[in-house]
């Protein structure tokens, strides 16, 4: 267990010494196409601002955000544009920012949608990645090179699976009942 591990992100202390890298993945349920898409109306949809505050105060050398592709279209694209405006005070995808927002952090921001299957993972999973490089740090960034997928899901699944991972007969009956009548 780490020495300091707050259970509530709003109660956490921001270290005064800058981190080398800050990695965050604000809850995606507010933006997911599979969810209700409540965006900022969902309390989980505003946790971005908690991470933004951390970056403002701590000024890590680098940061990485990861989220679902649905973030791009939330509120007609306004939510994602706000994230970009607040995180990319120096440049965005190599283009200089002439008039940064007053709340933006002084970072070079790169963003892209990456699909796990294009990077050797047997899963079709698109995610938005935002990478920030502090304005005084080396700004030589490139996205990983795509590679052919050589594995299929069946290649990584185990042949023998522990019984604890199987649904009980009773649970299966309840699911079938639920599906049939609802």
Catalytic residue numbers read: 28
User: CA-CA distance, 134 to 108, in Å (whole number)?
Assistant: 6
Tokens found for residue 111: 């963003």
55 in Cβ contact with 22 (< 8 Å): yes
Exposure pattern of 3-42 as b/e (b: 16+ CB <10 Å)? eeeeeeeeeeeeeeeebeebebebbbbbbbeeeebebbeb
8 in Cβ contact with 47 (< 8 Å): no
User: CA-CA distance, 161 to 32, in Å (whole number)?
Assistant: 30
């Amino acid at each position: 267990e780490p020495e300091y591990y707050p259970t509530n992100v709003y109660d956490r202390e921001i270290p005064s010494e800058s981190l080398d890298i800050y990695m965050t993945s604000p809850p995606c349920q507010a933006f997911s196409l599979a969810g209700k898409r409540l965006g900022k109306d969902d309390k989980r949809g505003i946790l971005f601002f908690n991470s933004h505050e951390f970056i403002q105060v701590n000024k890590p050398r680098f940061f990485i955000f990861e989220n679902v592709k649905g973030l791009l279209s939330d509120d007609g694209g306004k939510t994602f544009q706000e994230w970009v405006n607040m995180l990319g005070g120096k440049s965005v995808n190599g283009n200089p920012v002439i008039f940064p927002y007053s709340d933006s952090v002084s970072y070079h921001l790169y963003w892209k949608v990456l699909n796990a299957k294009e990077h050797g993972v047997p899963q079709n999973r698109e995610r938005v990645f935002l990478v920030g490089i502090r304005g005084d740090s080396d700004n030589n960034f490139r996205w990983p090179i795509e590679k052919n997928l050589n594995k299929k899901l069946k290649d990584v699944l185990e042949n023998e699976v522990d019984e604890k991972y199987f649904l009980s007969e009773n649970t299966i009956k309840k699911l079938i009942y639920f599906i049939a009548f609802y």
